[in-house]
Amino acid sequence: MSELQNKHLCTCSVEHQFTSDVHKKSSMRHFVSKKYLQSHHEEQALACDVCKKIFKCASALKLHVCSYRGEKQFKCDVCDKTFMMSGKLNARLNTHAGQQPFMCGVCKKSLNMSHTLKLHQRTHTGERPFKCGVCKKSSKKSSALKLHLRTHTGERPFKCDVCKKSFKWSGVLKSHLRTHTGERPFTCDVCKKHFSQSSHLKLHLRTHTGERPFKCDVCKKSFKRSEHLKLHLHTHTRERPFTCDVCKKHFSQSSHLKLHLRSHSEQLS
């Protein structure tokens, strides 16, 4: 075979290879475009009927719907506690087994989930990546932002089946249900008194410990409850936010207004 024929064959071979590669890339682009359109169509289809949020996969939508319904399909065989996500169940099992495989490089604290470690690290970095588009408040967790947004939208997705009252948070609904059932699962270790909410138990314990964590910056007086401090501050600011509808007299505390209103009711009687 002559040198000229050899060059011609090489050129044909390269051109054929080039044409083949172009065809493959074109086919690949068509495939990717088709897949993209398909996935885009699927995203549009996978929308929550309640809040219209869009999801990329059916499993994510299913978890989201379960959060509205309060469904918890993953059960711990050790303590019978149930979870909405398998990852939370695995973390619970790690807790039972005494395993804390994820360690913080700053304070050496060990945690049972990689996600929990990531959140913990933000306490060191101060990172708050989730920002409210309305008031610009930022949060460390996306779930905290989601809860915060309900203060703007007024959304109350959690409804009591007994009295139909609705709530912004599932935890508040859970506490509310105890007013119907009479359940008091939180017990004081000192006097054995029972409470329907953990926050009520926490406040009660201060009657035993004498703890007064809320201190006035003006006179240094301390209080067991934040609302008591807030009322006390009115004595320094002279603020009187509570007004009598009958005579328009102002009071610094709601209890004082309540007592005053009795004088009007006695006059009417």
Residue 59: alpha-carbon gap to chain centroid:
20
**Global pTM value:** 0.43
Residue 47's pLDDT is 83
Span 62-120, pLDDT tens digits: 777 776 666 677 788 878 788 777 777 877 887 787 777 888 998 988 887 787 888 88
State pLDDT tens for residues 253-268.
Answer: 888 888 988 888 777 6
Q: Is the pLDDT of residue 20 over 80?
A: no
Thinking of the domain 187-268, which architecture would CATH place it in?
Answer: 2-Layer Sandwich (3.30)
pLDDT single digits (tens) 113-147: 787 888 888 889 889 888 998 998 898 888 888 88
Say how many C-beta atoms besides its own lie within 10 A of residue 83's C-beta: 16
